[in-house]
Amino acid sequence: MSSTWHILGAGSLGSLWACRLARAGKAVRLILRDQRALDAYQAAGHLTLIEPDQCSHYAVPAQLAAHTAPIHRLLLACKAYDAAPAIAALAPRLAANAELILLQNGLGSQDEVAEQAPAARCISASSTEGAYLQAPFAVRFAGQGFNWLGDPLNPTPPAWLDDLSEAGIPAQWTVDILPRLWRKLALNCAINPLTVLHDCSNGGLLGHLAEVERLCEELAQLLQRCGQPTAAQNLADEVQRVILATAANYSSMYQDVRAARRTEIHYLLGHACRCAARHQLPLPHLEHLHQRLVDSLRARGLPCD
Ligand code: NAD
Ligand code: KPL
């Protein structure tokens, strides 16, 4: 099997992974969105990785989805709402035993991707690393974190895990990846929408703890009902810990709204509400939160799904 890492999306996480893999001497190919992005990248000539102590450049070759080389391993580094259409466009290039590593936050996009590529192995990732584009193709590594990887259908770790340690990408194979994805989704549901609605940093939620607490109770009920009791354990305590530890930060959803970007609401709060409805579980605070967030996005002219 080819050892090339195809990476779709030269945004924040895609660039961060591409630079570190290229630095470790791994074969990397970027897949960019369109000819305009490819021309802009070729004019820049390289990706730039900005770390606290150094700034380095990597001339990673780039291509479009329409390229013909087969893909054996793909890191899908786009937003959740772009994931399934991106895979649909690449489907003719996927090798029979292709592996897809899905970096998307939230839940729902992983199943949408699997539908588009039923023969591929889909590995889900939950990442706490932080990165943002300081300029096109120049990524700032803003927060050390960790990556948990797992395949809900197959506990066998992939052969390329060593590539990650050689590239200094902190990662661990996790047989039970679903509880991690659910737990992160619950944290994001308890924190991110309220930061948008109260127009505040994560720490600003210390002034709304009763509201946070009510949401945590309902989210814990939902996790239990969805067969995720581990993810439900001490949820409220962890949410408070995260609020305190990230008090000065603005949530990713807050930043998206501030920058007038589409949010991942459909795969976070939307997913939680859809699951509750499927289980006929009434969660009035969560549903009200979803409606308030939809109204707020609509009022700003942003997509509300
Ligand atoms: P991003 O918006 O910075 O980058 C996504 C990139 O994918 C963009 O450059 C976009 O143009 C590209 N893209 C979309 N569709 C494409 C297509 N069909 N072909 C080629 N390129 C395409 O997003 P990000 O911040 O890197 O986030 C990716 C995922 O990781 C999200 O689900 C996010 O929630 C999650 N995440 C991000 C961070 C972070 O610090 N940035 C941390 C944890 C999780
Ligand atoms: O992951 C986050 C985000 O902003 O998306 C945290 C920091 C946990 C807040 O929900």
3-state class (DSSP) for residue 55:
strand
The residue ranges of the chain whose pLDDT is under 50 are: none
CA distance 151 to 133: 29
pLDDT attached to residue 265 = 98
How is residue 175 annotated by DSSP?
S
The two structure tokens encoding residue 171: 């990662």
The answer, yes or no, to whether any atom of ligand 1 lies below 6 A from the CB of 76, is no
CATH number of the 179-299 domain = 1.10.1040.10
pLDDT attached to residue 2 = 75
Cα 193 to Cα 139, 181, 276, distances in angstroms: 26, 18, 18
Active site members: 184
The two structure tokens encoding residue 129: 């690393």
**What is the CB neighbour count within 10 angstroms for residue 194?**
24
Place of tokens 């329409």: 66
| C-alpha of residue 286 to centroid of ligand 2, in Å | 17
Largest CA distance in the chain: 55
pLDDT attached to residue 1 = 62
Residue 119 CB-density burial (10 A; 0-12 exposed, 13-18 middle, 19+ buried): exposed
CA distance 148 to 222: 23
pLDDT attached to residue 88 = 98
Q: What are phi and psi of 148, to 5 degrees?
A: -105, 130
The two structure tokens encoding residue 196: 């948008």
User: CB of 30 within 8 A of CB of 45?
Assistant: no
How is residue 46 annotated by DSSP?
S
pLDDT in tens, 153-200: 999 999 999 999 999 999 999 999 999 999 999 999 999 999 999 999
- Please state whether the predicted TM-score (pTM) of the whole model is above 0.75: yes
Helix (H) or strand (E) holding 252: helix 252-258
The two structure tokens encoding residue 237: 């305590």
How is residue 159 annotated by DSSP?
T
Residue 99, strand partner residues: 73, 121
**What is the CB neighbour count within 10 angstroms for residue 82?**
18
| C-alpha of residue 285 to centroid of ligand 1, in Å | 30
- Closest atom, ligand 1, to C-alpha of 104: 32
Please, which residues have CB within 8 angstroms of residue 209's CB and are 6 or more apart in sequence? 240
Q: What are phi and psi of 5, to 5 degrees?
A: -95, 110
User: CB of 201 within 8 A of CB of 247?
Assistant: yes
Which of 50, 78, 252 to mutate to test ligand 1, by most ligand atoms within 8 A of the CB atom? 78
Residue ranges of domains in the chain: 5-175, 179-299
Which of 144, 242, 257, 268 to mutate to test ligand 2, by most ligand atoms within 8 A of the CB atom? 242
User: CB of 19 within 8 A of CB of 50?
Assistant: no
| C-alpha of residue 76 to centroid of ligand 2, in Å | 20
Helix (H) or strand (E) holding 98: strand 94-102
At the fourth CATH level, the homologous superfamily of domain 5-175 is NAD(P)-binding Rossmann-like Domain (3.40.50.720)
